[in-house]
Amino acid sequence: MRRVVGEGGEVSTEKEIVKLEEPIEVLITNTFVPKSTKDLVAGVRRRWEGERSVYEPIFKAMSEISESFLGGGWGMERMNENVRLAQGLLRTIGVSHPALEMVVEASREHGVESKLTGAGGGGCAISILHDKVEEETRRKVEEALGGLFFGGRKFEVVRTEAGGRGVTVAS
């Protein structure tokens, strides 16, 4: 399996670098739900060991989504669909959380797909504001996500871009 890392306008794996043609505007929503990556990974491993014939096709589908991204040529509609599929697969293997699902549903009501980040189990979600999402809709999604609460805590939303120039050092 390849490790994917975003680095100022590029997405790289251990073997490849994919240049993003244009920055992609995204919303990062922090649910403030604490999680343990160690526990989440251990849980997935236990379930995989008990049901390998069920989990192997799920892992294969997840890998194919990543590989198709690295192959390039994704339009925004395909990206939206693959984000939806990826989140569904992550939910299926048990690493989503009710707070993350709140983000997924609230953004989907406006035609925007979201998925968990990192190991899941809480923490943050990313929402893709593809090029067909009008500014008014972007504001509505941002407002809807910022109005969510879980466990008595309001979510925090940050609008930013993925695939920009990144950090530079000026001398």
Residue 22 DSSP class:
S
Buried-exposed string 37-73: b where 16+ CB fall within 10 A, e elsewhere: eeebeeebeeeeeeeeeebeebeeebeeebeebbeee
Average pLDDT, the chain: 86
Q: pLDDT tens, 25-54?
A: 999 999 999 999 999 999 999 999 999 999
Between 168 and 131, whose confidence is greater? 131
Whether pTM > 0.85 for this model: the answer is: no
Superfamily of domain 21-162: GHMP kinase, C-terminal domain (3.30.70.890)
Residue 23 near residue 162, CB atoms below 8 Å:
yes
- pLDDT of residue 156 exceeding 50, the answer is yes
Between 17 and 94, whose confidence is greater? 94
Tokens found for residue 124: 């943050």
The pLDDT confidence band at residue 171, using thresholds 50, 70 and 90, is: low
Between 94 and 13, whose confidence is greater? 94
Between 27 and 170, whose confidence is greater? 27
- pLDDT of residue 10 exceeding 70, the answer is no
Residue 87 near residue 116, CB atoms below 8 Å:
yes
